[in-house]
Amino acid sequence: MRIGVPREIKNHEYRVGLIPSAVAELCAHDHQVRVECAAGAAIGFTDADYQAAGAQLVSEAAELFASSELIIKVKEPLASERRLLGPQHTLFTYLHLAADRAQTEELLASGALCIAYETVSDAQGRLPLLAPMSEVAGRMAIQVGARCLEKAQGGRGVLLGGVPGVAPGKVVILGGGVVGSQAAAMAVGLGADVTVLDRSIDALRRLDAQYGNRITTLYSTGAALREQVLAADLLIGSVLIPGAAAPRLVSAEMVRQMKAGAVLVDVAIDQGGCAETSRPTTHAEPTYVVDEVVHYCVTNMPGGVARTSTQALNNATLPFVLALANKGSHQALRDDMHLRNGLNIAAGQLCNRGVAEAHGLPWQTAEQVLALP
């Protein structure tokens, strides 16, 4: 199969869809891999590295798209890239369509087969291609939140771990999934006062078993949520509904009543954010202030540690890329129900219920679109 790896063009996005070792694996299976020049240069993967792995270098994105069947990316295609997609393409990347009507409509119009990393599942019901980036984002949330709490960054001037004789900062984490668990680990490590809210008793039990009295776990009722949000120095939004828009748990009225200089890191911003006051930001301009609360809402947080993120992502995606290339996209989807859960768009039709409900659009199951029995 002809596989294309374009250079990412989103603001401050340095990750790359395939690293040289993954390219070598695909070439060993007799696939042709084309990589856009300088696609991995920013994180230390040179054009020479790709050539040594067996890739052919291509100077322009348009040429790469035109000569490829399977497009492997990291972030959603921007408008200039969406114009290069057609019915001959399979696109495998993060899409987050529920928060992006324009992208949804343009991908539907392209006729391309679009598989989203974030909705591919596994036998345990987990999201294996979202997990590595969720792990990175969860850990980064505490790192960037601690920085934003510094007075020079507009924060309260609070050190999360405190010092002897001074209380630590209060970290409140909404959601005890992968992001929330990783954020809790980092916050506990810094010595912060950590509270995690979730509606999954199993998730709360798991965190309690891991950390004991080093954190507080609370079932997320409306009253508990409000009380904790208003008490937070650093609030982490990490609630996820796979494929669908994130629930807006934090109202604008709650934000108005938060502490002056408190920080909100909304990791759920890729799916629309979990606060009414959240809007997407970039690594170039990561924060803004609403009612004296610093908001950090970068949509590609793991891009800030792009080399680590790229390697972790490739570890998870390579088996699926090999399946798509070895079998062909349609057969790979027919054979693997978990990969099929990643199918968001095919033949001009939506195949994901969460995305369809977010935009009020019709949809069909992947099985219907693929004409499976």
Q: Select which of 31, 270, 295, 336 is catalytic.
A: 270
Dihedral through CA 39, CA 44, CA 46, CA 50, nearest 10?
-80
How are beta strands 287-290 and 293-296 bridged, if at all? antiparallel
Q: Sheet containing 56-58: which strands, arranged edge to edge?
A: 56-58, 32-36, 2-5, 70-72, 90-93, 113-116, 343-346, 349-350
* Contact yes or no for 238/180 (Cβ under 8 A): yes
From CA 61, how far away is CA 34, in angstroms rounded?
A: 10
Helix runs in the chain, H state only? 20-28, 47-53, 61-66, 79-82, 101-110, 131-148, 178-190, 201-211, 222-231, 252-257, 306-327, 329-335, 337-340, 353-359, 366-369
The closest of 160, 197, 200 to 175, measured between CA atoms, is 197
Residue whose C-alpha is closest to residue 136's, from 310, 321, 7: 310
208 is catalytic: no
Distance (Å, rounded) from C-alpha 276 to C-alpha 265?
13
Indicate which residue of 89, 96, 100, 233 is catalytic: 96
**Cβ count within 10 A of residue 355:** 26
Report the distance separating Cα 241 and Cα 251, nearest Å: 18
270 among known catalytic residues: yes
Contacts of 1 (CB under 8 A, 6+ apart): 31, 32, 69, 70, 324, 325, 328
Catalytic residue numbers, as ranges: 96, 270
